[in-house]
């Protein structure tokens, strides 16, 4: 496990925690789904509002004065994404940081309520639509505050797999022929391509917003709760190979808030350091193709 503790150029490693990588960072005045501990006004989009409110209560109990709002959001439904964006705008909050961190892995390549393959709908299209709906707020916030806006897309190791033409676009509307792991991997590949194209667009516009993708590492979460064998395997050796929640959140927090990342965009981070993704994840033409496909998908819904 030496590699896990080996520090990279940033001074951090896979063993670093979110608190360590944000130590000394002043988050006051920023609105993002990051750390209330730093004085950030946190907006929590959740599918289960009751569970979200319980989390809010526990945070407020440990961090007096924490500013947290809980809003309902189901990323697999474009109607829900649009409702959330409208409710967020009604709060009249500035938006400096957006972390897109949802990820599902189902047993079957079923369809969402919008008729899209469920992994793509939740892990990519929902994030794509949400980001687009909140972009004008981010643009105006960074202009008025003079503070860099940051978008962070959380991906996974799934992007390292190889797929025909990178992504099977025809299977997003017709998932037959895909298995769940391939569908999941393609949706996480889309997260990096989305970040890359956002970065290109921001540079072209000359707007002070960055977009990066991060790999949080293997974390013992409920992602594999429906897979008894995989879950049992992770539970048995989790202490050896899995990161804690605090360690898993570190790279996203680093990319979202650390001064070292200022001005860096269109990159892929792992273990709180810039890393090299797969060749498909670096394909600029595929990123443009995905952007156009995603735009047509959300416009036609």
Beta strands in 155-208 (DSSP E): none
Every domain of the chain and the residues it spans: 2-299
Sequence-distant contacts of 198-203: CB under 8 A, at least 24 apart: 198/131, 198/151, 199/265, 199/266, 200/266, 200/284, 200/287, 202/265, 203/265, 203/266
Instruction: Report how far residue 22's alpha carbon sits from residue 17's, in angstroms, rounded to the nearest whole number.
Output: 9
* Separation between Cα atoms, residue 262 and residue 280, nearest integer Å: 26
Residue 29 pLDDT: 42
Instruction: Return the H-helix or E-strand segment holding 239.
Output: helix 228-241
Assigned CATH class of 2-299: alpha beta
pLDDT value of residue 30: 42
- What does the pLDDT read at residue 4? 53
pLDDT computed for residue 134 by the predictor: 98
> pLDDT per residue over 165-222, tens digit each?
678 898 999 998 888 888 888 999 999 999 999 999 999 999 999 999 998 765 555 5
> For residue 148, what are its two tokens?
């860099």
Q: Of 58, 67, 138, 64, give the one whose Cα is nearest residue 98.
A: 138
**How long a stretch of residues is the chain?**
301
Q: Which residue has the tokens 């989390």?
A: 55
pLDDT at 221: 55
Nearest-angstrom CA–CA distance, 129 and 108: 24
Residue 217, SS3 per DSSP: coil
Residue stretches of the chain with pLDDT short of 50: 1-3, 28-34, 224
Q: Which of the residues 5, 163, 184, 268 is marked catalytic?
A: 184
Q: Give the Cα separation of 97 and 208 in Å (integer).
A: 12
Could you tell me what percent of the chain has a pLDDT over 90? 52
In this predicted structure, what is the pLDDT of residue 163? Answer: 62
For the four alpha carbons of 171, 162, 213 and 239, in that order, the dihedral sign comes to positive
| 268 catalytic per annotation | no
């Amino acid at each position: 496990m030496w590699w896990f503790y080996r520090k990279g150029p940033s001074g951090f490693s896979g063993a670093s925690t979110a608190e360590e990588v944000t130590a000394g960072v002043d988050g006051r005045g920023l609105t993002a789904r990051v750390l209330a501990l730093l004085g950030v006004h946190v907006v929590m989009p959740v599918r289960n509002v009751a569970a979200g409110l319980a989390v809010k209560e526990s945070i407020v109990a440990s961090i007096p004065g924490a500013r947290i709002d809980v809003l309902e959001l189901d990323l697999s439904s474009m109607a829900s994404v649009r409702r959330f964006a409208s409710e967020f705008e009604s709060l009249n909050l500035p938006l400096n940081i957006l972390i897109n961190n949802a990820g599902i892995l189902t047993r079957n390549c079923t369809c969402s309520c919008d008729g899209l393959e469920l992994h793509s709908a939740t892990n990519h299209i929902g994030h794509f639509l949400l980001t687009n709906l909140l972009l004008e707020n981010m643009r105006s916030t960074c202009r008025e505050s003079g503070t860099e806006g940051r978008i962070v897309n959380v991906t996974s190791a799934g992007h390292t797999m190889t797929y025909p033409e990178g992504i099977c676009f025809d299977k997003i509307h017709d998932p037959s022929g895909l298995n769940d792991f391939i569908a999941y991997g393609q949706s996480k590949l889309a997260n990096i391509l989305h970040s890359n194209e956002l970065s290109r667009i921001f540079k072209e516009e000359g707007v002070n917003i960055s977009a990066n993708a991060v790999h949080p590492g293997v974390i013992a979460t409920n992602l594999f709760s429906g897979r008894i064998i995989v879950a049992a395997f992770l539970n048995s050796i989790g202490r050896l190979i899995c990161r804690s929640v605090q360690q898993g959140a570190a790279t996203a927090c680093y990319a979202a808030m650390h001064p070292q990342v200022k001005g860096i965009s269109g990159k892929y981070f792992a273990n709180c350091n810039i890393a090299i993704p797969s060749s498909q994840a670096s394909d600029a033409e595929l990123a443009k193709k995905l952007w156009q496909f995603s735009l047509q998908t959300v416009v036609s819904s």
